[in-house]
Structure formats: C-alpha cells, structure tokens
Structure 1
Amino acid sequence: MIQHNPFTSSLFISVWCKNFNINTTTYNFKPINGLHFFKSKGELFINTGKNLTKGITYEITETIGNNFKNQVCLIYDVPTYAQAKTTKIPKNLVIKKIKQYPGFLIHLNQYTGIENYLKKTFSKNSIQKLIRYNKRLQTCFDIDEKMLIGNSVEKTEYDTVFNHFHKLLNKRFEDKQITNNNLNPEEWRFYQAVVYPLILENKAALHVIYNNDVPISVRLLYFSEHIIFDAITVFDIDYTKFHIGKISILKMLEWSFNSKYEIFDFSKGYFDYKESWSDLKYDFEYHIFYNTKSLKASLLANTIALTFKTKQYLRDKKFNEKLHKITFALKRGSKNNPIKVEILPHNKEEINKYDLQEIELTDDILYLKKYIVDFQFLNSEHQKNIKLYQIANQNNTLYLIKGKHNYQLLSVSH
C-alpha cells in the first residue's frame, strides 16, 4: 500500500474535480477502501484522478455486504509492487486485472548513498563519463540547482518556473514532432493548479537546474510517506550534448538519498533511461470490479477489459507512437521554408578577411542557440566568453561563433 498517497488526498481530488468539471459528489463502494469514485457513463464508476495519478492502491476490508448491483468500478494505474492482497473479496464480486504500462523504480533504502548506488548500478567507465558531463556543464555555464518544496516557495517563483516548464515541454515535443498529452491545455491547467498547494504541503516539488537563473531542466515530483514519484520531466534540448537529462537524474537522486524516502519511482511508461537507472521493473494495471450475478455489469466489465487489452496490444506494436506523430502533423500543418544550418570549414586567416558585426541572439535567430551550446561543449568555453557575429555582405546568411580561443562558421539558408 502507498501510505499518505498524494493522489487520493482531498486537495488533489478537489482540484481535479473542479478542473475537469466533475460533479463533486463522489461514491464509495464496499469492500474497496481508500478510494473515491465518480460516475462516468451509465453504471460505470471511475476512481477520482483517473489516469493523471502516478499510482493508486486500495484495500479490501470486508468479505460481505458489498453494494455492487449493476455497477462496474474501474481503477486506473495500480502498481503491482504496492498492491495489497485481495483474498477477502466477497462472493460474486470479481476483479479483472489488465496489464498496461511498464513502471520502473529504485529502492533507495537498499543503498548507503548515491556513490554506493552508482557503483552497484553502472560501470566505472559510465560513472566517469557522468562526472565529466557534470564538470563540463559547470565549466561552460553558471549552473545552480534548487528543489522547490515547502511553504517558503513564493507563488511568483513557482509561476516563473512552471511557465518555463511549459516552454521546454513544447520545445521538446516540437522537436520530436509528436503530441504529448501533458500539453493538452485542460490537463496542463490542472497540473499548474494542483502542484503549488501540494508543494506548500510538502507533497510535491519542482527540481530545477538553472543556467543564469533560467531553468534548463525541470522535474515534477510527488511524495507519499515513503515514495518519490517522478511525474513529468524535461530539459532544454539545446543542451543535449551535455547529457543534461542524466545530470538532472544524478542531482535529484543526490537529494533523494539524503531524504527519508525509501523508493524513487520513475512511474509509468518506457524510456531507456528508466531501465538503466532503475533496479526494479513492474507493471501498472487497470482493475475492474463487478458483480458476476449481474449480466449487465458482466457485459460492461468485459467490454472495458477488451478495450484496454486492445489498446495495450496496439501500444506494444508502437501504434500509439505513429498516432502521436500523425496527430502532431495534423495539428501543426505544413511548415514552409525550413531553416537549414551548416557548419562550414574555415581558418583564422579566412575569418580575418570578413567584415564582422557583433550581434545579440534575438528571437528570430534563436535556432542558433543549439550550435552555440554545442560549440561550448566541444571547446570547454564559458558562455561569458562567447560572442556571435553576423558577416556583412553575405545576404545575412553567415554567422560566426567566437570563443576565447576558437571559432565556428555557420551558413544559414531558408
């Protein structure tokens, strides 16, 4: 069982109901203890929070007296590692369990600290690379790190970080050219509304890495009594060469190992990094409760089960990834005149022949930022030493990145 689960708290439920226009009248069904349900369609009842939780658990507390008739109860996202035993199910009441997304976690309490964890999880070579990436990031930028948690977090600071969070997610999925459900306006409004009050109650946090006070990595975390849930994560893709995603995990785990928590849960969905950092893979299941004496309930329950099994089959076949790409293309439409940037060979003597005009990195040429950051990584150049030049008499198509000792020439065509 997940003790003091943030996703079943009254705060989470009330904000969720308000945001999604759910009738605040919720229902309880014996013998399911610890969950509230809302009425969906007909006789279908779904747990509050639906698929926006990162793990739901419950207990069966009675063997008789259940109030199921024609009703069917659907419970989303029950992690197999935290399920209570269900041996006390009343007669005629059935639970169908449908496997859905994979989940991944780290048992923090099985390690003495971050160094012990790294040593047992990664090769010596991988650890050295991780240290080098972190050192290179510190060398090239003015990096700061912060965990926004507790009642000292100001709303203005929270709003600033959350707005950057949204921009980075948009940027990330624009680059991948797929849709992301977190960016659905209704869903994002819910997150922005619920996370701040949970932060004040120490039930949520934002782990942020800054470059010159600008967030370049943001992670949304939730907390139960013993578990940290890694809910949504993003980093600025311009910093890809620095492996900022790995550095973010490292910094966050350093904080986690110094805390009281026993488990760090990467939550649902497969990504390579989750598998490599975790020490346990588990499954999320959808649970369906219904009374076998009711033909109506049996038909509804079996139809729901078949629907989710079909979805999982299509997910296993990567159909959902194709669908996200198609949805993205339909929403975005065609993009004319894509910008092409090419790195040109050059030498110092050739550079000295150009008429150079120093410029700022404005919004209309912001696509050059990635090339500037890559240049810093390759040459260990600090951003304070970087200058950008536009080369005159070239139809504004040539740019020069200049560091303390190195140059890079770029050609831009539309």
Structure 2
Amino acid sequence: MNLFEKREIPDVYQKIAYADNSKTLYEVDAKDLLEEEKHHMYTVALIPEYLNPVLKKEDQYIQKTYYQNNLGYAIRMKDVINIDSYLKSQFKSNHKVVKRSLTRLESCFNINYKVFFGSITKEEYAFLMSALQEMLVRRFAQRNDEHKKLREWNIILDNTFDQINRKEASLFIIYDGKKPIDISLNYHFDKIIFSAISSYDIDYHKFGVGHVEMIKLVEWCLKDQFELLELGYGDLEYKRRWCNYIYQFKYQVVYNEQSLIIPLLAKIELYKLSVKEFLKEKKVNLVYNNLREKFSANSPKRNETAELTIEKRTITEPDNTEYIAKIDPDSEKYKFLRIVIYEFLYSTVEHKDNTSIFMISESPKSFLIRGKNNAQQITYRN
C-alpha cells in the first residue's frame, strides 16, 4: 500500500488508473527509465484489483499479472444511503447492538469528535501521535503481540505531519472530554480514504469503541463524498462484518525480454510466487498462525490485572460512610480502577460526571463506585 502511504510507485510504471473506468488516479512525470533500470526485474505485490498500473514503455516489457490469495476489504460509498440502513444491511439483527456502542458511549462520557485534515499544529500532532503509539503498545501487549507499524514508528512520525497539512493524510479522534480514546490515522488519495493505523484506549473496550470509529468514518465519507473507505488486507472479523466490498489483490512481475539473464530470473520468481500462493490456497499459512497463537496463548500475558481477582457486589448504600475516603480514578495511582469503573458505567448507563469513587478505609483493597442511581462495591483479591 505504498501508493496510499508514501505516494510512490515503482519506476517502471507511468501511472495508476481505476480498473473500471481507466480514470487516472496517480501519474508521475514522464521520463525514460535509466539504462540500468531497463534491466531490472520488478515484482509488485498487493495491487488492489480495482486499480491498474500502466507501464512507461509497454512495448519494451513483459508484464505478468496474477491474483494473490490475499483478500482486501473496503466500503463502497455508492452502495451506502445512510449509516442506519448500512448497519441493518451489514449486521442484520445485530445492528442495534452495534448502534448501542455509540449511544452508550455518548450517554456515559463527554464524547466529542474531531478530524485533523489540512491543518494541525506540531504540538497537537506530537500529543496525538504519542497517544496513538501508547494505545497500540498497550492494546497489543494485552494480546502478547506487537503492531508491526511500531517498528517503523519514527519514519511514520517524521512523514505524517506534513502529509496532514497537505491533505494527504488525516487523524480522526474520539475524545472523552480532552482525552483521546480512539485515534485513526488515514491516508487520502483522490476519493479514497485508507484507514491505515487505528487503536483505542482498552479501558473503554466494553463500549465497542472500534464500532463507534467505523460509524463516524462512514458518516464522514458520506458527508464529504468520498467513494471508498479502504481497510486494506488482513482477514479480520470486524472487516468482514463492516465491508461491502471484498476483493483480491494482484501481483505483477515486469521485466525486459531483451535482457540476457532477467527472463530466467523472472521465471524463477514466478515459480516461487506460484508456490507461495499455492500454500496460501491450501491454508498452510493459517496453520502456522494458529500454532503461533496457541503458543502465544500459553505464554504469560502482560495483563495489568491478571494477578487480581475482582469481586463485585451491587449495593444501595455503604454500611459505614464514615470509613470511606473519596479518590480520583483519573490519578496515576488509581488508574487500574478505570476499566472496572467503565464497565459499571456501561451496565448501569450512569454518566462519568455523576459517578464518585470511594476507598473503604477498613479494607484498602475494596472500593465503592456510586452513581446517581446505582452503586457497586468491588474488592481485589490476590
């Protein structure tokens, strides 16, 4: 997906066009290939089937195109009337559950949304990208894994600020008050939005923040008349449920037939690629991934509350209010309480502003969560 992220195409291509109408999406300055470049072999993978690369010198090259056993996921806006009808068509009887993620989140917190597209300060950019990085680290540590984009984070950080101000990228944010709880980094090309990196604060997981992000991105696409919300490759459940356009990727091998050794290398490359795709077709890669997940599941999880058992008890009023001290769950000292507090808010539909947290002095591992109409005592045990 270098086209979306870096606006780069291999030297052998003159432009990228839409497959259905041949409209040019991206074109480079016309110039001949250097003499040494003419003797290169170009292997290009993950070309969405709705795009066609066009060669600079079509008469000088052999171009072999094959479909990969990789699926891409996107939402075509021409098939979306409004968000409510789209949820019904995609989620059927579960559409109310998905919509509830939005209504419940907005009922329990001071939620607001913002898009940085065309203008962002360096201070705001640094703050938001740091928050996104922290969300990715924390969320994937919970899964005992690492997001691959974290390995190139400094490169992303260096490039994206200017891309946002040039309207080549955007940051979509869901805030709880002034705190970002979901961030999506998107790249823009023509009428396509590519949702490249997104994450959320796992303390809010009960609220289905990922669904809320998708609802708001679809609404943005409809409002500003984007034609495609691209979610890229990777067979994930949320993509299958959200996307109305599932397509295959292509790969191409391009080489100069007049070169002495390149045609032989191209045949070897094509053979290697065909074997790789055959193994994918036979699901060998899924066997590997399942084994990796199995071993990962047996290894220790970096869960912040894994060593604690939480007991919950619904109550009307504390027995001895004089033994209760009010605490601030937003402080660093008590941040471990947030996920339990937010689960209480979700189940009772209490608002965070109307909820107080108390530590029961005679039992320092017991806390009282008291909302406007509901209360719950929680006790941590080793």
TM range, smaller chain: 0.7 to 0.9
Is the CA contact 1:58–1:83 (under 8 Å) kept in the aligned structure 2? no
How do residues 376-395 of structure 1 correspond to structure 2 at under 5 angstroms?
376-394=345-363
Deviation at residue 96 of structure 1 after TM alignment: 5.2
1:149 maps onto 2:92 in alignment: no
**Distance in 1 of aligned mates of 2:265 and 2:232:** 31
Residue 76 of structure 1: how far off its partner (Å): 3.3
Q: Aligned equivalents of 2:148 and 2:366: distance in 1?
A: 39
Correspondence for 1:167 among 130, 134, 139: 134
Residue in 2 that maps onto 1:298? 266
- CA distance in structure 2 between the partners assigned to 1:99 and 1:271 by the alignment: 17
Distance in 2 (CA, whole Å) between partners of 1:6 and 1:304 is 27
Q: Which amino acid aligns with 1:264?
A: L
Q: 1:174 Cα shift? A: 1.2
One-letter identity of the residue aligned with 2:133: H
Unpaired segments ≥5 residues, structure 1: 14-25, 36-55
In angstroms, what is the RMSD of aligned CA positions?
3.7
Q: CA separation in 1, counterparts of 2:343 and 2:207?
A: 8
- Distance change >3 Å, CA 96–CA 57, structure 1 → 2: farther
Distance 1:334 1:75, change over 3 A: same
Do the aligned partners of residues 350 and 228 (structure 1) sit closer, same or farther apart at CA in structure 2, a change above 3 Å counting?
A: closer
Q: Alpha carbons of 1:359 and 1:107: their partners in 2 closer, same or farther (altered >3 Å)? A: same
d(CA) in 2 for partners of 1:156, 1:291? 49
Task: Evaluate the alpha carbon distance shift between residue 351 and residue 285 of structure 1 in structure 2; reply closer, same or farther with a 3 A threshold.
Answer: farther
Residue 332 of structure 2 is matched in structure 1 by: 363
Shift of 1:405: 2.3
How far the C-alpha of 1:263 sits from its partner, in A, is 1.2
Q: Report the CA distance between 1:234 and its aligned residue.
A: 1.2
CA distance in structure 2 between the aligned counterparts of 1:234 and 1:315, rounded to whole angstroms: 29
- For residues 4-45 of structure 1, give each alpha carbon's deviation from its aligned partner in whole angstroms, at most 9, with x where no partner exists: x54453xxx5xxxxxxxxxxxx9833xx3248xxxxxxxxxx
- The corresponding residue for 2:102 is 134
Give distance in 2, aligned partners of 1:402 and 1:257.
41
1:186-201 to 2 correspondence within 5 Å?
A: 187-201=152-166
Deviation per residue, 1:266-306 (Å, 9 max, x gap): 11112212111211111223333235663652365246526
Question: Residue type matched to 1:135 in 2?
Answer: T
CA offsets, 1:295-353, max 9 Å, x none?
652365246526744884677415246547868999x9989994313123354466437
CA distance in 2, matches of 1:175, 1:336: 8
Q: What is the aligned partner in structure 1 of residue 14 from structure 2? A: 33
CA drift at 1:402: 1.7
Decide which of 198, 201, 204 is 1:239's aligned counterpart.
Answer: 204
For residue 75 of structure 1, what is the aligned residue in structure 2?
44
Cα distance between partner residues in 2 of 1:316 and 1:175: 24
1:175 maps to a residue whose letter is Q
**Aligned positions, number:** 364
CA distance in 2, matches of 1:130, 1:327: 30
Q: How does 1:271-286 map to 2 (within 5 A)?
A: 271-286=236-251
Residues 311 and 380 of structure 2 are in contact (CA less than 8 Å); yes or no, is this contact kept in structure 1?
A: no
Stretches of structure 2 that go unaligned for 5 or more consecutive residues are 17-24
Question: Structure 1's 327 and 290: CA in aligned 2 closer, same or farther, altered over 3 A?
Answer: farther
Q: In the alignment, is residue 258 of structure 1 matched against residue 223 of structure 2?
A: yes
Change (3 A) 1:314 1:129: closer
Number of the residue aligned with 1:45: none
SS of residue matched to 1:166? helix
In structure 1, C-alpha distance between the alignment counterparts of 2:179 and 2:213, rounded to whole Å: 15
Partner AA of 1:93 in structure 2: I
1:148 CA displacement: 0.8
2:20 aligns with: none
CA distance change for structure 1 residues 134 and 337 in 2, over 3 Å: closer, same or farther? closer
- 1:119-165 CA-to-partner distances (Å, cap 9, x unmatched) read 54343x434333333222111110100111113x2121111111111
Q: Higher strand share goes to which structure?
A: 2
Moved more, 298-307 or 359-368: 298-307
Q: Which amino acid aligns with 1:143?
A: I
The aligned amino acid for 2:206 is K
CA contact (8 A) 2:98 2:211 kept: yes
> What is the Cα deviation at residue 198 of structure 1?
1.0
Amino-acid identity (%): 22
**TM-score, normalising length: structure 2:** 0.81
1:132 and 1:320 map into 2 onto residues whose CA distance is 33
Maintained 8 Å contact 1:114/1:254: yes
Instruction: Compute the displacement of 1:265 (Å).
Output: 1.1
Residue 227 of structure 1 is matched in structure 2 by 192
